[in-house]
Structure 1
Amino acid sequence: MSSFLILLSLTAAQIPLPEHPRPDFQRADWLNLNGPWRFAFDPRDEGERLGWSRAALPGDRQIVVPFSWGAPLSGVPDSGNIGWYARQITVPDSWRGRRIFLVVGACDWRTSIWLDGKKLGEHQGGYTPFSFELPSGLRDGPHWLVLRVDDTPHPFKLEGKQGYGPARGIWQTVYLEARGGAPLAAVHVTPWRDLQGVRIDARLLEPAPRALTLSVGLTNRDGQPVFSSHLARGATSAHLEIPLPNAHRWSLDDPFLHEVTVRVTGDGLIEDRVSTYFGMRTISVVDIPGTTYPYVAINGTPVFLQLALDQAYHPGGFYTFPTDSILRDEILRAREIGLNGLREHVKIETPRKLYWADRLGVLIMADIPNWWGPPDSAAFHEHDVALRGMIDRDYNHPAIFAWVLFNETWGLISKDGNTERYLPETQARVVRDVTLAKSLDSTRLVEDNSPCCGRGHTQTDLNSWHEYLPGWRWEQRVKQVSDSTYPGSHWNFEIPWQQARQPMLNSEFGNVWGYEGSTGDVDWSWDYHRAVNAFRRHPKLAGWLYTEHHDVINEWNGYWRFDRSHKETGFRFLVDGMTLRDLHAPVYLAVGDSDLSRAARPGERVEVPLYASFLTGAAYGDSLTLRTDLRGWNSLGEAKSYGASTRRIPYRPWMSQPLPPLLATMPDEPAVLVLETTLEDTKGTVLQHNFTTFVVDGAPPDTVRLADGRRARIARVPASAVRD
């Protein structure tokens, strides 16, 4: 036992994830319980009968919390469905007189908790936080804290993609917290639609024991103003309307966060104080200027969504990332390549990752995990508990712009023999959940189901669709989708629902893994390029979402590998200075036809189509500079330049239209060519690189002139005649 106690005496630097797990709802007095705990599996489910709740766990196995058992970083292989945790805790002397709570960030699935053998409570669910109060007047410690977690499979359990690596048991930070006499359960901040103030909705954990005062201070606003409201005895909530004229707004380019301190006081009660924050921003739907095409908008300004599907899995921790800096890096990677958002896929993501999205200006689509069984009442109950918990916990994160309730009708399909159906009664149940989500949060968009494979929408704020195609099919498909998008259209909707004024966007696409007609990993960037060109030529499309941020297990479509190492796009070898970020530029010029390559004859004068997709409100004057460079390699592999040009092209914000084509003269010899384009503003700042390619057909010449001026005859030898 002494060796175990030594292991528990870790410094903050040695504790996994030592940071407070809830920057959006934080009390000053808290104690991180991450680190080594005693652990035992309970294969015969006899631990409670044998007294394990009194810390009598057998053996000396340890697990590193908060990593789920089975994850390499936990130190425990996955060899059971029921696990017991135990460790000693000591409540700091400075907390005397306070109410002490144990808080579990997330634990999958049914959790029972004891302190010194006395049961504190049970919780069922795997994705959202829960807490239990410790008995008042605890004697000096240490005390034994014991958790039993039952993760036995059930068809109605929310699993998401835990097949990549299951989140078994504790997978988010566990901590003790000192609260005041009338503790807050939640504080929600809602910006006014005109962005000139906010509404504060504060909810108490219990009815007010006496008259209370709620005080709200804005700690990083000039003058640090404080606003107050009174709660009568028995009240459970308070509401304040706070004018904040000219408040600093939150945007993708300037993600400013307003810091808030909320206090609850009353005669004879110890103060409860919580720190939170909010972003002064609104989410809405507006038409892009000069069109009737609806887009998602931040603060009334449309945003062309360029997102990635984020499986949010780590090779060592599965659901749990080993450090806060790695979480931050996941968000930064999206910004690094020019994306403006992520979809946290069938996983309720950790608050600290959402915090970094808030801080760094990356939008989030927030999914609820699915179950894999039938759409019965038990499954919908689990789903609705998670839905309520997610919105309640994550309400203040400005980065979240949409709640996604279901994905690809997983868990919503009923089987009748060999037939699978999305039944009308199930659709009606989904609509109930959309209504529930809107009642809990009217400030964001709600998507009923992110559809695929012939299924459609019911009631929804977004008209999104999934498609996995090779590059050559994208132009035709996007045109078909664009032509099918208009109010009253039944495309992508279940009967009797129909399109209204929802933004239409792709919410999953990819091209290389496991799909017929795909090109393989080595060519992913070529097909990706063709897809993005197609998207940018059709402005009805309000955005796209690529599968995926990083590779996972059997899906290798990622921008990065599973270990987050670099993938080679090849762009830099074709166009000097070009990176993946150029395909995500707000000011975008699609060059050439949809094939990205075409055959030409020697000496032919070719028209090269141009399409301007300037999906930004940025002011660059009325024109931009377009520079072109036609270069390539002849039949001897010699690099040659075949001509350059400079011209002005028109510019206006949100302009999306064809431009007069480029004229390019092909060389008089067979060659493989790259036509490079560079867009610059009036200051010479490069806004975007792009390219298209040509293959100039023809018989190679019999003689050539070498770089040093000598003439040489080309001899043709069959490959079979070559000997070492």
Structure 2
Amino acid sequence: MEQQITKKKYKGSVNEERMIVCQHFFNSLRYIKELTTMKISVFLFILFFQTIAYCQELAVVNNIVGRDKISLNGNWQILIDPYENGFYDYRLKESQSGYFLNEKPKTKQGLIEYDFVKSDYLNVPGDWNSQREKLELYEGTVWYQKNFDYPLKKDKRLFLYFGACNYYSIVYLNGKKLGEHEGGFTPFCFEVTGKVNSKENNVVVKVDNKRRADGVPTTNTDWYNYGGITRDVYVAETSENFIQDYKLNLTNGDFKTIHISVKLNKPESKNIKLLIPELKISKELAANSNGEASLSINSKPILWSPENPKLYDVYLVKDTDTLKDRIGFRTIETKGQDILLNGKSIYLKGISIHEEIPQRAGRANGPEDAKLLLGWAKELGCNYVRLAHYPHNEAMLKMADEMGLMVWSEIPVYWTIHYEDQNVLKKAKDQLNAMVTQNKNRASIIIWSMANETPVSDDRNNFIKSLCDYTRSLDNTRLLSAALEISHKENDTNILDDPLGEYLDVLGCNEYLGWYEGKPEDALTKTWKTIYNKPMVISEFGGGALYGFHGEKDERFTEEYQEYLYVNQLAMLDKIPFLKGISPWILVDFKSPRRQLHGIQDGWNRKGLLSDRGFKKKAWFTLNKYYKHKK
């Protein structure tokens, strides 16, 4: 039975294949009557997890940018549905005739109480809050609808791909449900082979951004809950058995050997060609019966660094499929209390960034937005950015590669999520998996972050330890961190001994001396200790200032107060021997409904060094000068 499941060749779509494979599992239950209890347990364990693994691997399409595709970006018709009438009937059961059918009356007496054609529209990618004033604070369901044609080709598979939708999505094609996705910042796709017509296809997406107690993140955050299809949408085309995943990297301490691993979507013994023209590499990789191949190649690439962000054009070829990527080669590791890039000690001169463009007060997406935000970071003097508090769009990571900015990338395990809930843990792992899978070939990413400001408890410790173990199983070539808080204080000493530090490579720490506690000058007498022989990064510090509001340095929310806070903070931080980087909070003012002070905040977190229009505050120049002289 086990061999039948793993070796059988299926010709249907991914969803059809998933149903067939899973049906094998349930059909197999009739065989267990003849087995002992122990054998039953082992049999079911192996069979179930092989079945699930097979179903999951069929659903993955990586490096969407490098594949043949058409864009579905642009105007989508919408219906705003706060009561979810388009999904539930009046008995609150899932409707069989909901908005996803996109029906039209068949006669003059026909009763259809919605019409996408006559409705409003929104631009995709984009959030709904910044595009329509009436949706500025809306949390609920919006239905999106778009028609498209597709030039069908023989022997090709098709996938409907979404870069991200916040937060919970259900996708329909031509009136049939494709599937669901939870998570507001990670890509997902559905196979639509055999379901797409050459003309007049109709895709409908139910997007629901209501905050959820059992979500990741949970209901309480300090950023804006932008709803909508916030990243690119594509129909992507592949061969019958395509290159599903790949990774190219150096091993720490070895600058002359490139390791490559490749995985096909289905088990098949097949050769895959690797080309890196600039390094004169042209190699054949022989995939095994599982569709996996790996190879180590002697080479000596120019190492990627902030000073010289060298990238190489890389091609992977299988049959008629060619995938192109631009990849840099570097190593990142720790040694005692040092962080080593390419074997040399570095100091992370950084800033934290939200995925938001201030001038239009909406979600950032695409190369132009990435160039603006990361260009400001470079102008500030940064060699590193913390992309908070969720996985940012793919363009940000690729632009960081090009511009030479090291990256801290994290998932939104934030504040008080349900650490005791195994289902929430699975959601966090799903987001980790998506983040790592999409971005593991980006040289810029040096740190995967597990969490931000989480309260210490046994449940929380076990939860995040599990995330650490899982991330290392996905990618052991980068450092792990989490933004912790000061564990406790003794007189004028801050002590970082959070038990989570045992599982991290780099200790992150958020502290707000001079803003949420004490006065800015208190930093001058503060000392720091840790029980770990590991490097620390101050992942956040800062204070708020309204651009153009001036006064004495002891007056809250003036530019002078923020500047004075930075001066004292930087003097304190210079005295911490195990400190190897900082990413102050934050590059630009960002929207947050938590911030209600009229005339000052007005729904904005004002801790940015730039205003909500991109104007520099006085503290910008203080940090810029510091970075110019910091080695």
Please state which band the TM-score falls in when normalised by the shorter chain: 0.7 to 0.9
- Does the 8 Å CA contact 1:286/1:301 hold for their aligned counterparts? no
Secondary structure class of the residue paired with 1:468 = coil
Matched, 1:447 2:507: no
Matched, 1:461 2:505: yes
Q: Deviations over 1:604-628 (max 9, x none)?
A: xxxxxxxxxxx3xxxxxxxxxxxxx
- Does the 8 Å CA contact 2:172/2:178 hold for their aligned counterparts? yes
Q: Which moved more, 1:48-57 or 1:157-166?
A: 157-166
CA distance in 1, matches of 2:417, 2:62: 35
Relative to structure 1, the CA distance from residue 505 to residue 517 in structure 2 (aligned partners, 3 Å threshold; closer, same or farther) is farther
- The offset of 1:519, in angstroms, is 4.8
Residue among 73, 77, 81 paired with 1:38: 77
Secondary structure class of the residue paired with 2:82 = coil
Secondary structure class of the residue paired with 2:605 = coil
- Does the 8 Å CA contact 1:306/1:544 hold for their aligned counterparts? yes
Relative to structure 1, the CA distance from residue 570 to residue 408 in structure 2 (aligned partners, 3 Å threshold; closer, same or farther) is closer
Gaps of 5+ in 2: 1-60, 88-94, 104-113, 489-495, 515-519, 547-552, 592-603
Secondary structure class of the residue paired with 2:126 = coil
Aligned to 1:534: 572
Relative to structure 1, the CA distance from residue 199 to residue 315 in structure 2 (aligned partners, 3 Å threshold; closer, same or farther) is same
- Does the 8 Å CA contact 1:362/1:399 hold for their aligned counterparts? yes
Aligned to 1:547: 585
Aligned to 1:335: 378
Relative to structure 1, the CA distance from residue 201 to residue 435 in structure 2 (aligned partners, 3 Å threshold; closer, same or farther) is same
Matched, 1:408 2:453: yes
Relative to structure 1, the CA distance from residue 441 to residue 128 in structure 2 (aligned partners, 3 Å threshold; closer, same or farther) is same
CA distance in 2, matches of 1:353, 1:101: 24
CA distance in 1, matches of 2:168, 2:627: 43
- The offset of 1:28, in angstroms, is 4.6
Higher-Rg member (1/2): 1
Matched, 1:149 2:203: no
Matched, 1:89 2:153: no
CA distance in 2, matches of 1:137, 1:391: 30
Aligned to 1:591: none
- The offset of 1:314, in angstroms, is 2.5
- The offset of 1:356, in angstroms, is 0.9
Aligned to 1:279: 328
Residue among 515, 525, 530 paired with 1:476: 525
Residue among 355, 359, 367 paired with 1:312: 355
CA distance in 2, matches of 1:27, 1:569: 41
Q: Which moved more, 1:134-143 or 1:187-196?
A: 134-143
- The offset of 1:366, in angstroms, is 0.9
Relative to structure 1, the CA distance from residue 119 to residue 206 in structure 2 (aligned partners, 3 Å threshold; closer, same or farther) is farther
- The offset of 1:76, in angstroms, is 5.0
Aligned to 1:164: 223
Aligned to 2:600: none
CA distance in 1, matches of 2:316, 2:83: 47
- The offset of 1:323, in angstroms, is 5.4
- RMSD across aligned positions (CA): 2.8
Matched, 1:324 2:383: no
Residue among 504, 518, 521 paired with 2:536: 504
Aligned to 2:467: 433
Q: Deviations over 1:65-105 (max 9, x none)?
A: 11122233799555451221111111135x45421211100
Q: Deviations over 1:109-158 (max 9, x none)?
A: 33222221122222222221111122338443021111122333321212
- The offset of 1:386, in angstroms, is 0.5
Aligned to 1:699: none
Gaps of 5+ in 1: 1-21, 266-270, 288-293, 414-421, 490-498, 572-578, 589-614, 616-724
Aligned to 1:55: 102
Secondary structure class of the residue paired with 2:297 = strand
Aligned to 1:114: 172
Aligned to 1:643: none
Relative to structure 1, the CA distance from residue 31 to residue 75 in structure 2 (aligned partners, 3 Å threshold; closer, same or farther) is farther
- Give the paired residue count: 513
CA distance in 2, matches of 1:197, 1:319: 43
Secondary structure class of the residue paired with 2:368 = helix
Aligned to 1:682: none
- The offset of 1:216, in angstroms, is 1.1
Secondary structure class of the residue paired with 2:180 = strand
Aligned to 1:123: 181
Aligned to 1:367: 410
Residues 295-310 of structure 1 mapped to structure 2, 5 A cutoff: 295-310=338-353
Letter of the structure 2 residue corresponding to residue 227 of structure 1: K
- The offset of 1:541, in angstroms, is 2.0
- The offset of 1:322, in angstroms, is 5.9
- Does the 8 Å CA contact 1:511/1:518 hold for their aligned counterparts? no
CA distance in 2, matches of 1:230, 1:558: 51
Matched, 1:228 2:284: yes
Aligned to 1:256: 310
Residue among 295, 314, 337 paired with 1:240: 295
Q: Deviations over 1:177-220 (max 9, x none)?
A: 11122122221112133111221122223333xx322111114x
Letter of the structure 2 residue corresponding to residue 508 of structure 1: E
Relative to structure 1, the CA distance from residue 156 to residue 311 in structure 2 (aligned partners, 3 Å threshold; closer, same or farther) is same
Relative to structure 1, the CA distance from residue 408 to residue 503 in structure 2 (aligned partners, 3 Å threshold; closer, same or farther) is same
Aligned to 2:68: 29
- Does the 8 Å CA contact 2:331/2:343 hold for their aligned counterparts? yes
- The offset of 1:468, in angstroms, is 1.2
Aligned to 2:423: 378
CA distance in 2, matches of 1:543, 1:570: 17
Aligned to 1:5: none
Q: Which moved more, 1:56-65 or 1:388-397?
A: 56-65
Aligned to 2:58: none
Aligned to 1:390: 435
Relative to structure 1, the CA distance from residue 99 to residue 176 in structure 2 (aligned partners, 3 Å threshold; closer, same or farther) is same
CA distance in 1, matches of 2:483, 2:618: 34
Aligned to 1:635: none
Q: Which moved more, 1:538-547 or 1:299-308?
A: 538-547
CA distance in 2, matches of 1:569, 1:118: 54
- The offset of 1:346, in angstroms, is 1.2
CA distance in 2, matches of 1:31, 1:378: 35
Relative to structure 1, the CA distance from residue 74 to residue 395 in structure 2 (aligned partners, 3 Å threshold; closer, same or farther) is farther
Residue among 237, 249, 256 paired with 1:196: 256
Relative to structure 1, the CA distance from residue 425 to residue 538 in structure 2 (aligned partners, 3 Å threshold; closer, same or farther) is closer
Letter of the structure 2 residue corresponding to residue 301 of structure 1: K
Secondary structure class of the residue paired with 1:253 = coil
Letter of the structure 2 residue corresponding to residue 520 of structure 1: F
CA distance in 2, matches of 1:317, 1:130: 27
CA distance in 2, matches of 1:324, 1:33: 17
Matched, 1:566 2:616: yes
Relative to structure 1, the CA distance from residue 23 to residue 476 in structure 2 (aligned partners, 3 Å threshold; closer, same or farther) is farther
Letter of the structure 1 residue corresponding to residue 246 of structure 2: V
- The offset of 1:296, in angstroms, is 1.2
- The offset of 1:427, in angstroms, is 1.1
- The offset of 1:444, in angstroms, is 0.9
CA distance in 2, matches of 1:404, 1:173: 25
- Does the 8 Å CA contact 2:585/2:608 hold for their aligned counterparts? yes
Letter of the structure 1 residue corresponding to residue 229 of structure 2: I
Letter of the structure 2 residue corresponding to residue 213 of structure 1: N
CA distance in 2, matches of 1:158, 1:542: 29
- The offset of 1:45, in angstroms, is 2.6
CA distance in 2, matches of 1:118, 1:206: 26
Aligned to 2:38: none
Residues 659-670 of structure 1 mapped to structure 2, 5 A cutoff: none
CA distance in 1, matches of 2:338, 2:133: 44
Letter of the structure 2 residue corresponding to residue 281 of structure 1: R
TM-score normalized by the length of structure 2: 0.75
Secondary structure class of the residue paired with 1:280 = coil
Higher share in strand: 1
- Does the 8 Å CA contact 2:139/2:227 hold for their aligned counterparts? no
TM-score normalized by the length of structure 1: 0.66
